[in-house]
Amino acid sequence: MKNYSTQMEAAKNGIITSEMEVVAEKENMNAEKIRELVALGRVAIPANINHKSLSPEGIGEGLKTKINVNLGVSGDCANYEKEFEKVKMSIEFGAEAIMDLSNYGKTNTFRKQLIDYSPAMIGTVPMYDAIGYLEKDLLEIKAEDFLRVIEAHAAEGVDFMTIHAGLNKRSIESFKRSKRLTNIVSRGGSLIFAWMEMTGNENPFYEHYDELLDILYKYDVTISLGDALRPGSINDSTDAGQISELIEIGHLTKRAWDKNVQVLVEGPGHMALNEIAANMQLQKRLCHGAPFYVLGPIVTDIAPGYDHITSAIGGAVAAANGADFLCYVTPAEHLRLPDVNDVKEGIIASKIAAHAADIAKGIPNARDIDNKMSDARRRIDWEEMFSYAIDKKKAREYFESTPPADKHSCSMCGKMCAMRTTNKILNGEKVEFSN
């Protein structure tokens, strides 16, 4: 008979769960070490008891950097078939998590299909769904209504939920004093802020935090403590509003752990390159080593259409300095709902950032595949090179689009290929260009 309800509760009781064993195998780590880290809260394994198709993943200290893909319908683009194409692509390219951010109509049909289908962990922001699910205007929604939506998502099998519980009256005062350039850019955060200002009440997720944790505990849902005051421009990064909310989140992290609920902490946002490393250390200090989940950071504000690149730059620096989980950004960021191609570009950019950071962090065996690729390049073995590529199809298409006359080269250098030249000399052969 199972004598625990959550991964953290099991870990604290010295129990290695089947999910911990899967994570240990994926990470090439000892299962007991995984258990210790889960017990401390430094690793989370989001694994709702009702998500039967899940292939568990660990997020946190000493583990490979994971990536998340955001998708979901909006009022302007309500095509669930297209969203499911994005789901399939996300899984094909190895995304460890998918967040359904649908905010239009009755979203639970799509969410249930997603949970039934996906081996990747599933996240949601229940605040987005509250208005459509409850069919009420924001001002009419009560605290118990918000909790009802959270329980509905949890019962369906959602593994982690973004809850903006740190946006309380104290952090709002800091935000107002900061006189930001871009104010609040978090969609969920802005809705909570508006609700608080219109009603005069405290944040319901903060005021009823213990009740919320009881729901999450029941289904083993990981709370992802959302950063409602994340900077939406590099001008606003590391300001009093952002840091005051982070201090509140640190306190909420410990309260969740006390109730055996696993925690992720969400972070910026837009941030100049020189501030990223310090922010990662600050989060780990204030939030007691909890896994850190960052959006970007986006390192410049002037590249709409290319924000998958600005995000990957920031994400690589963030993860190399301690971030554990990267939320992808697509070229459509700030412009429109991403299409399938945008999603692909975002996934690839984020995977590159995560892998580059794992090499920098010294994650065991992280650079093995790079060494294999380099060896295949030395031998000019194209098929083997394609097999190691993050995007195998694109690598092959580029090579074959302008085929070389000599298969032991490419159309860039032809017979002047440095690999070919050096290989011939080291093999005792002459270098000739006439044949």
E strands, 42-117, where?
Answer: 43-44, 59-60, 66-71, 97-100
pLDDT of 82 reads 86
* Helix/strand/coil for 267: strand
| Structure confidence at residue 226 as a pLDDT band (50, 70, 90) | very high
Query: Domain total for the chain?
Result: 2
d(Cα 32, Cα 140) in Å, to the nearest integer? 49
Looking at the structure, tell me whether residues 206 and 266 fall in a common domain: yes
pLDDT at 412: 86
Do 243 and 133 share a structural domain? yes
Q: Considering the chain, what is the average pLDDT of its residues?
A: 94
User: Do 206 and 282 sit in the same domain of this protein?
Assistant: yes
> Which residues sit in the known binding site?
70, 99, 128, 164, 186-188, 227-230, 266, 270, 293, 334, 410, 413, 417
pLDDT at 104: 63
∠ at Cα 8 (6, 14), nearest 5°? 110
pLDDT (tens digit per residue) in 227-269: 999 999 999 999 999 999 999 999 999 999 999 999 999 999 9
Percent helix / strand / coil, the chain, rounded to 5: 50, 10, 40
- The parent domain of residue 383 ranges over 369-426
Both 341 and 406 in a single domain?
no
Q: Measure the CA–CA gap between 144 and 424, rounded to whole angstroms.
A: 74
Judge if 343 and 375 occupy the same domain: no
* Helical axes 340-361 vs 307-320, angle rounded to 10°: 20
Domain edge (last residue) among 341, 361, 381? 361
CATH code for the domain in which residue 347 is found: 3.20.20.540
Answer yes or no: do 134 and 214 share one domain: yes
Residue 111 has pLDDT above 80, yes or no: yes
In contact, 219 and 50? CB cutoff 8 Å: yes
Helical segments of 328-426, H only = 340-361, 368-378, 382-388, 392-401, 418-426
**For residue 86, pLDDT beyond 70:** yes
pLDDT (tens digit per residue) in 287-306: 999 999 999 999 999 999 99
150/231 same-domain check: yes
pTM greater than 0.85 (yes/no): yes
Amino acid identity of residue 157, one-letter, is: G
Check residue 155 and give its pLDDT: 97
Single residue among 361, 394, 412 that ends a domain in this structure: 361
Mean pLDDT of 105-131: 88
Residue 106, CB-side half-sphere exposure with 13 Å CA sphere: 2
Q: Which residues are annotated as a binding site for [4Fe-4S] cluster?
A: 410, 413, 417
For the annotated binding site for Zn(2+), the residues are: 270, 334
Give the phi and the psi of residue 148 in degrees, each rounded to 5. -65, -40
**Domain termination site, one of 361, 385, 414:** 361
Query: What are the distances in angstroms from CA 143 to CA 15, 79, 128, 244, 336?
Result: 36, 31, 15, 23, 31
Binding site listing for substrate? 70, 99, 128, 164, 186-188, 227-230, 266, 293
Strands (E), 160-303: 160-163, 222-225, 263-267, 292-295
348 shares its domain with 382: no
Q: ∠ at Cα 118 (115, 124), nearest 5°?
A: 50
* Pick from 76, 80, 4, 3: nearest CA to 38: 4
Backbone angles phi, psi at 329, to 5 degrees: -130, 140
Asked if 276 and 392 sit in the same domain, the reply is: no
Residue 415 lies in a domain: yes
Can you tell me the distance from the alpha carbon of 109 to that of 80, in angstroms, rounded to the nearest whole number? 10
Of all residues in the chain, what percent carry a pLDDT higher than 90?
84
Q: Is pLDDT of 224 > 60?
A: yes
Answer for the pair 269, 227: CB distance below 8 angstroms, yes or no: yes
**Quick check: is 413 in a domain?**
yes
Say whether both 70 and 123 belong to one domain: yes
